[in-house]
Structure formats: C-alpha cells, structure tokens
Amino acid sequence: MPGRSLFEWAPILELLLAPHPTVKIVLSTSWVRVKNFEFAKRKLPVSLQERVIGATYHRREMRKWEFDNMTRGAQIVADVKRRRPTHWLAVDNDDKGWPEDYRDHLVKTQDRLGLSDPKVQLELQTRLAQLVRSQG
C-alpha cells in the first residue's frame, strides 16, 4: 500500500508486549518469502527481534506455490500445528478463510489502522493478559 511501511506499528506492539516478556513472535509476512527471514526480522525494533522464534513460511519445509495458495489463516494454523504452542494469538488484518475452529485466537485489525486502532490495542492488551495468566 502506498505510503505504508513494513511493520509500521511495531512501536505499538513493543509497548503492548512490554509487560509480557515471555511472549514470543512468529512472523507471518510475505517479506519472509520474498526476501528472507533475516531481512524481515531486522525490520523490527531490537526488543521485538529478540522475541522472534520463526516464521510461518519455511523454505525447507514447504513449496512456495503451496504456501502462496493458502489463506493467511491456513498459513498460521499450519505453523501452529508444526510448533504446537499451548497458548497463542495471531494479529492480522486478513480473516478471509480463517478456520472457524481457530477464530478465537485471532485479533483482527483494520487494513489502514492496524495496531494504531485503540480498540484493537485494548483487545490485544486484554487477550495477552489472559494468555499469560493461562500459561501461569
């Protein structure tokens, strides 16, 4: 989108994650596939880079065309099935084709507002607190 930048809402995510140091990040961005994992990770502030444990696209584990033909939700769920986290959330503006069984893990953002939307920030704050408490 013109005038937009990769991970432009990262400073907001930094603030929202600050109270939860155990929360990790898996990147779900086409930049991992188009460029590479390290390129995408380096676009994040250092405090977020330190939380990144991987990406939904794995060049050694999947065919590019197969990944490209999956919905974002299917890509994320496939990664969850590989990693098997006990507690997780996804933050995304794309909910098309998101598997119904996993919708309660999605914090949906609006295309133009992303994490700058105060309602989304509040939802993410609340959901992160619940997630961390349930890890207890």
Could you report the average pLDDT of every consecutive run of 10 residues in the chain (136 residues)? 75 96 92 90 95 90 86 93 94 92 95 94 96 82
Position 124 in a domain: yes
Range of the domain at 28: 10-135
The whole-angstrom separation of Cα 54 and Cα 110 is 24
The whole-angstrom separation of Cα 26 and Cα 113 is 21
Question: Angle, nearest 10°, between helix axes 10-17 and 118-135?
Answer: 40
Position 58 in a domain: yes
The whole-angstrom separation of Cα 130 and Cα 134 is 6
Question: CB under 8 Å to 27, separation ≥6 — which residues?
Answer: 37, 40, 41, 52, 54, 55, 56
pLDDT of residue 2: 56
Position 25 in a domain: yes
What's the whole-model pTM score?
A: 0.88
Split into its structural domains, the chain has a count of 1
Position 2 in a domain: no
